[in-house]
Amino acid sequence: MRYHDTYTQKTAGIIRYSCALLFMLFSFSYLFFLQGEILAEAQHVYSHGVTSYNILIGAVIITVVLQVIQWVVALVSRVPSRWYAFSYVPSALLLAIFSDIKEETIEHFSFGIWLWLFPVLMGTYVLVVVLMRKFNSPRSGRMNDIKSQLYPNFIILFVLMLGVGAIPQATDVYHYELKTERLILEKDYEGAAAVGKTSLRASARLTQLRMYALSKQGLLAERLFDYPQYYGSRGLLNVSDTSAFHRVTIQDICFHLGAVCGKSIHTANRYYQLMLADSLWNQHTAEYYLCSLLLDKKLKDFQHQLPIYYNLSDSIPNAYDALPKSYREALLLMGQRNEALQGHIVIGTDTLATLHDQDMIARFRDYQEMNSGLLDSTERVNRTHREFGNTYWWYYDHSHQADGELRQQ
């Protein structure tokens, strides 16, 4: 008898600790890697910016609290060892509620279906526990090997984890927005610009944050087309976005450009005009303005405005070669084609300069050959995007055609 009791206690201990380890690993990983950003946003919005949420500390605290709840439930319910993992149901339900946070929930707080679903599920859970205890024989399974005791518990835990993971999540783009925003607040602008970089999906908000992170590094015009640009100049600055739910606001971007935007200013172009006509503007303002002209494909305006903000005098050797990548690509595109293929920027009867970047010139020739050599429009858009999607040439020629197609890939 003593051997039986010792064996039972040892088996129960292994089940308890293995279940606790698995659940805590799942809970921490889920909260830290998948839900951290959205919980941080929710904390900011619900506290009206008074408090902030640390993703690491928050994941640890919530996981510990859920585990303590499980211990209390297990102590009160006294479910048989064979079904011990069933005591994790309340903790899993709470974790599911934490997971069911989306952009709409943050802006308009609501418990949704959980207001009635949680009490119903908990009532059902209590009923099942009562029946389980009633029909469980105290000595049944006592001498079963440990595997037959562990497998049912692991299956229950797996089902619970699967149920939590099945809760509809916020879109990947929204997660990108929140992570980019957090890294900007941490002044990790390089990290912020790298979030979701390989994805073809983007939103206007995400694009604005990325461009802000690039501008903070002085790389806006250099790397402007390293990212999908679906929104024209609105993807740089949208002064009409006055949402109170953002941790990095449009006014933060405007302050970076020299001055906050007044309520009477309704377009970014008007904001640029007022800034550049005043002494408040800085080089970042000029970059935003010039890049907005490129994004709106206003090449003539770009040509006229560029010398105002860059010294392109003939007395400065290789002044055009020192321009950011996007500007040099635009100049090649607006010049006479045959001359541009040799690196000469000829507009009308004026020869502005000769670019010495042979790699860019060779790439421009390759782009022109591929672009003119593909007759099918869909094939042309996609194949040229794979090779030249990070150039202004591709953006200027194909962005209006590829907007929807590329985002669906």
User: Mean pLDDT throughout 292-321?
Assistant: 92
The structure tokens listed for 86 are 């069933």
Tell me: pLDDT of 142 over 50: no
Average pLDDT, the chain: 89
The dihedrals phi and psi of 165, each to the nearest 5 degrees, come to -65, -20
Q: What is the pLDDT of residues 295-304, one digit of tens each?
A: 999 999 999 9
Which DSSP string do the residues of 200-242 spell out, in sequence order? Answer: S---HHHHHHHHHHHHHTT-HHHHGGGS---SGGGGT--TT--
The structure tokens listed for 383 are 């194949």
> What pLDDT score was predicted for residue 288?
97
Which run of H or E residues covers position 393?
Answer: helix 392-408
CA distance 208 to 10: 58
Long-range contacts at 285-288 (CB < 8 A, ≥ 24 apart)? 285/257, 285/258, 287/215, 287/220, 287/221, 288/215, 288/220, 288/236, 288/237, 288/257
> What pLDDT score was predicted for residue 404?
42
Q: What is the pLDDT of residues 332-370, one digit of tens each?
A: 999 898 999 999 999 888 888 889 999 999 999 999 999
Report whether 169 contacts 99 (CB < 8 A). Answer: yes
Q: Where are the alpha helices (DSSP H) in 234-357?
A: 250-257, 268-276, 283-295, 299-309, 325-334, 337-340
CA distance 212 to 249: 11
Percentage of the chain surpassing pLDDT 70?
A: 93
Angle between helices 172-185 and 36-46 (to 10 degrees): 70
Q: What is the pLDDT of residues 26-63, one digit of tens each?
A: 999 999 999 999 999 999 988 888 888 999 999 999 99
Tell me: pLDDT of 9 over 50: yes
Tell me: pLDDT of 137 over 90: no
> What pLDDT score was predicted for residue 403?
47
CA distance 69 to 74: 9
